[in-house]
Structure 1
Amino acid sequence: MEAVPARARAWVACVALSVVLCALPFPDTRTPWWALTLLAGLYAACDHVVRRRLGGTFYPVLLAGAFLLPPPAAALVPLPAALLARVEERPVRLRRVWRAARPSLAVWGAARVHWSLGGRDAVVSCHFPYVLVPAGAAVLAFCLVLAVLDGGILAAGVGVPPAPLRPWGRVSPRRAAWGGLLSRSLAPVAVHGLAGLMMAVLWRSRYGPVAALLVLLPMCVSCWVFAQYHRERAAHQATIRALVQAVDIKDGYTRGHSERVGRASVLIARELGMDDARVEVLRFAGILHDVGKLGVPTRLLRKDGPLTPEERRVIELHPEYGHEMVRGISFLGEARAAILHHHERLDGSGYPYGLAGAQIPECARVVAVADAFDAMTSTRSYSRARPVETAVTELRRCAGTHFDPRMVTALADALDRHGWHPAVTADETSPAVPAQQPVSGSPSGAGR
């Protein structure tokens, strides 16, 4: 992007000037030139490999420099990596300056805090566990500086707080946004900081820098594994997005419905105390519950008038179609059962197999409540949106016959705690069409 706002350019210039001022006391007699050169070269090599091959950042060497060198010298460690790195996006010079100044100022702040707390002597004497105190404070300072710099460039670039807000948050929007940048970076940087501290301690020990370099091997392996996990996760998300977009294109009245059902399913799962892995599976189940509509003729999905019994039976095949479509996607796990059985009812009057009670998989009972709730609170071709309170009342009325009472109670409690803030979708802005009766006798009208 060539057009960079003047505020963003000014922010980058201020950060770069701050780095120059911080590095001005260099050189001094306390700085070992060979250590600075070795750390700078090592960081440049690691940064190149990690960015090009793993697509991430690698801070152990940088933080080791903060623990080993005086602050002005530590600020110089990231510069060769930034000067040698390839910059593809425009403007090249501005981005290169930013990539150099951002880590330089952060590592300077970390080194300043570490030295002021006596961290240098603790590293030399290897005095555990007291060596962890200045190191932990340095890592926190490193994250704080990065959060301030990143938040500033985002705010200057787009003119809004730099992170999205939870609709039920009770803090000010700008404070919550900047706090999000800090909270997301603190845990991974803390792990890198621990590796950097191990490097610094071994560096100062009788074994010397060679032993310190051995710390990088397990860190590189762990980074590779982590990158592989994220690539696999991204592939999963891309698969799901493609399927959902295909459904949205085919059935315009339910556009956005899949994402909202996924969100409501997550609320229920978390309220029930399910672990994170199962919550993720239920999110997939909610998002993909209607994927079988790809096998239903479009004319039936978009029909304005009432459906005939034959047409209704065709539409009621969509859970089986969906199950067949996702049968081979192993990462979905029990979400496949939810796709197949989310229209079953506790009293056995649902479809496709007429399962009753505990025969219905738990994940399907979760998605059934989430599906019905969103169907009632969204405007469709055959019904207008109902208020959230009315929808919850209707769910409670049908609990025990159509829906699992535990799931209904969990959704009601989650809505009381967090509220419901669905995004505006095409459902709510489409032109009016003749009224149509729901496909099934469900009070939710979710059968279609």
Structure 2
Amino acid sequence: MKAIPAAARAYILGALLCAGACAFPLWRGAAVPWSTLLMLAGLYAVCELPARRRHHGGSVPVAAGSFFPVLLAAAFLLPPAAAVLVAVPGALVGRVEQRPAGIRRIWRAAQLALATWGAAQAYLALGGDRALRAPDFPYVLLPAAAGALAFCLVVTVLEGGILAAAVGAPPTPGGLRGKAPVRTAWHGLLLRSLAPHCVHGLAGLMMAVLWRSPYGPLSALFVLLPMYISCWIFAQYHRERAAHQATIRALVQAVDIKDKYTRGHSERVGHASVLIARELRMDTERLEVLRFAGILHDVGKLGVPTRVLRKDGPLTPQERRVIELHPEYGHEMVRGIGFLGEARAAILHHHERLDGSGYPYGLVGRQIPEFARVVAVADAFDAMTSTRSYRRARPVAAALAELKRCAGTQFDPQMVRALTRALERHGWETAVTSDEAGARGNVPPPGRATGPEPVRTAVRGPGPDGPA
């Protein structure tokens, strides 16, 4: 339990006690259709066993939430106190990727037990049990929808609560304090889960109707067939996504090996780009592609001679021109990777400037693609706040001040404001990116820094490799 903060452990204990209280009427001799309870609990457990499978790239979540119709069917068929128990066996036998596995399984069991109890209560409150006996369509749809909504609300509230309890935001070395995630823990959870839970509610209602039909429980299993099909599709998607990420990791590692001065820089630029994108309220798909753009923005350095990248002294004009070709090299390298989408334009244009003085094409203002304007700000910010072997990092506040000073000429002011807001919310963790021994000894390689303020040079002008 060392990996789980004390506040989160207390939160889990509270949820577990609440789940026990919901099931308490069973111990007082409440009437329960035990055969239905045991069959549904066993069915959910069997469904959860293959819910996560392993493949060559690691584990793939095959059926996250895909078998909630079984729990919702239990909420429609059983008394609330009995429905609580249906989720427990499946939650306890399901695969858990992170440790400690035991406490995470207990949390999952408590969460789903409470959600099922809430769904059963909402369903009964609107007379769902009476409407199901006929069954009385379309009136039974209303209590079923209420049950699905209650299930969704309970899962969302509990999920946000555990995130708020488990995640902290300490002060950052740059001086900006990250705010506690309580305000943002529930952000977007309900909207993302509402539609899927409504579909699960409809499937659960179909299971309940068939369960009580003359054909019996066996007929209800046919409702799960589409769930297994969705599992397979979901698995294929995650396998493809894992392959994409493996490709990107290989490219980034190759860049890090070739240019030791920017080790770790690419991942942080991807993270900063995502922070900006969230402030701009980009949709999830674009946000993921923008993260790829940030991670791969310097992939073109693979086409630059190593002797130029690692040269200790000042670069000649010809060597500088070779360095400035790296966005075009990068674009050529990734142009055939279809899933990158808009990221390809960001890789090509992340050194353009609003005033037209950038490279490779000297684009002006809105001619520069949006992703490129985001990555340019993230790139420069990380360059200034990272400790390199040839100069020390700037504080976050100083780096932001420099970005604001250059906004409107080099950087898009909208992106600078978005990064500022994001850092006020979440903070920023600086890190040593390369050659840590040299940085700790404060012994820069002779001639690598081209002036008394290398960071300012990197932001104002197209330094040897741009802001990075």
Fold conserved between structures, TM > 0.5: yes
Distance (Å, rounded) in 2 between the aligned partners of 1:356 and 1:245: 30
> Is the 1:295–1:318 Cα contact (8 Å) retained in structure 2?
yes
Cα distance, 1:59–1:161 mapped onto 2, change above 3 Å? same
Question: Which of 401, 411, 431 lines up with 1:389 in the alignment?
Answer: 401
> Is the 1:247–1:293 Cα contact (8 Å) retained in structure 2?
yes
Please state how far the C-alpha of 1:443 moved relative to its aligned partner: 1.2
Question: Which of 59, 63, 79 lines up with 2:72 in the alignment?
Answer: 63
> Is the 2:381–2:403 Cα contact (8 Å) retained in structure 1?
yes
Matched with 1:244 is: 252
Cα distance, 1:343–1:63 mapped onto 2, change above 3 Å? same
Q: Which runs of 5+ in 1 are unaligned?
A: none
Q: Which of structures 1 and 2 has the larger relative contact order (alpha carbons within 8 angstroms, sep 6+)? A: 2
Distance (Å, rounded) in 2 between the aligned partners of 1:234 and 1:69: 40
Question: Which of 414, 428, 434 lines up with 1:422 in the alignment?
Answer: 428
Question: Which of 328, 334, 338 lines up with 1:326 in the alignment?
Answer: 334
- Deviation by residue 1:285-314 (Cα, 9 ceiling, x = unmatched): 122111222344555444443223343244
Please state how far the C-alpha of 1:49 moved relative to its aligned partner: 3.6
Distance (Å, rounded) in 2 between the aligned partners of 1:375 and 1:127: 65
Secondary structure of the structure 2 residue equivalent to 1:195? helix
Matched with 2:165 is: 161
Opposite residue 41 of structure 2, the aligned amino acid is: A
Opposite residue 432 of structure 2, the aligned amino acid is: A
> Is the 1:163–1:177 Cα contact (8 Å) retained in structure 2?
no
Opposite residue 436 of structure 1, the aligned amino acid is: T
Matched with 1:338 is: 346
Q: Does 1:224 align with 2:241?
A: no
Cα distance, 1:393–1:377 mapped onto 2, change above 3 Å? farther
Distance (Å, rounded) in 1 between the aligned partners of 2:358 and 2:464: 10
Matched with 2:123 is: 114
Please give the residue correspondences for 1:248-287 in structure 2 after superposition, counting only pairs within 5 Å: 248-266=256-274, 276-287=284-295
- Deviation by residue 1:143-171 (Cα, 9 ceiling, x = unmatched): 5655677688x69xxxx822467999999
Cα distance, 1:126–1:413 mapped onto 2, change above 3 Å? farther
> Is the 1:304–1:436 Cα contact (8 Å) retained in structure 2?
no
Cα distance, 1:127–1:241 mapped onto 2, change above 3 Å? farther
Secondary structure of the structure 1 residue equivalent to 2:225? helix
- Deviation by residue 1:230-286 (Cα, 9 ceiling, x = unmatched): 332233234323433443454444344324433554566677776543443233212
Question: Which of 15, 24, 27 lines up with 2:27 in the alignment?
Answer: 24
> Is the 2:23–2:82 Cα contact (8 Å) retained in structure 1?
no
Cα distance, 1:191–1:248 mapped onto 2, change above 3 Å? farther
Cα distance, 1:83–1:252 mapped onto 2, change above 3 Å? closer
Matched with 1:45 is: 46
Please give the residue correspondences for 1:82-97 in structure 2 after superposition, counting only pairs within 5 Å: none
Q: Which runs of 5+ in 2 are unaligned?
A: 55-61
Please state how far the C-alpha of 1:219 moved relative to its aligned partner: 2.7
Distance (Å, rounded) in 2 between the aligned partners of 1:5 and 1:221: 38
Secondary structure of the structure 2 residue equivalent to 1:312? helix
Opposite residue 74 of structure 2, the aligned amino acid is: G
Secondary structure of the structure 1 residue equivalent to 2:166? coil
Distance (Å, rounded) in 1 between the aligned partners of 2:405 and 2:4: 51
Cα distance, 1:74–1:327 mapped onto 2, change above 3 Å? same
Distance (Å, rounded) in 2 between the aligned partners of 1:68 and 1:222: 25
Please state how far the C-alpha of 1:340 moved relative to its aligned partner: 3.1
Distance (Å, rounded) in 2 between the aligned partners of 1:218 and 1:97: 28
RMSD: 4.8
Cα distance, 1:372–1:263 mapped onto 2, change above 3 Å? same
Matched with 1:443 is: 460
> Is the 1:377–1:388 Cα contact (8 Å) retained in structure 2?
no
Matched with 2:59 is: none
Q: TM-score, normalised by structure 1?
A: 0.73
Please state how far the C-alpha of 1:59 moved relative to its aligned partner: 1.2
Matched with 2:204 is: 196
Secondary structure of the structure 2 residue equivalent to 1:424? coil
- Deviation by residue 1:55-76 (Cα, 9 ceiling, x = unmatched): 5342111110111111233234
Q: TM-score, normalised by structure 2?
A: 0.71
Please give the residue correspondences for 1:169-180 in structure 2 after superposition, counting only pairs within 5 Å: 173-174=181-182, 176-177=184-185
Opposite residue 422 of structure 1, the aligned amino acid is: W
Please state how far the C-alpha of 1:396 moved relative to its aligned partner: 1.6
- Deviation by residue 1:365-392 (Cα, 9 ceiling, x = unmatched): 5534543454456565468644313322
Opposite residue 162 of structure 1, the aligned amino acid is: A
> Is the 1:292–1:319 Cα contact (8 Å) retained in structure 2?
yes
Cα distance, 1:72–1:369 mapped onto 2, change above 3 Å? closer
Distance (Å, rounded) in 2 between the aligned partners of 1:145 and 1:215: 24
Please state how far the C-alpha of 1:195 moved relative to its aligned partner: 1.8
> Is the 1:288–1:339 Cα contact (8 Å) retained in structure 2?
yes
Secondary structure of the structure 2 residue equivalent to 1:215? helix
Aligned-pair identity in percent equals 61
Cα distance, 1:179–1:319 mapped onto 2, change above 3 Å? closer
Which segment drifts farther, 365-374 or 234-243?
365-374
Opposite residue 48 of structure 1, the aligned amino acid is: L
Distance (Å, rounded) in 1 between the aligned partners of 2:373 and 2:88: 56
Cα distance, 1:291–1:166 mapped onto 2, change above 3 Å? farther
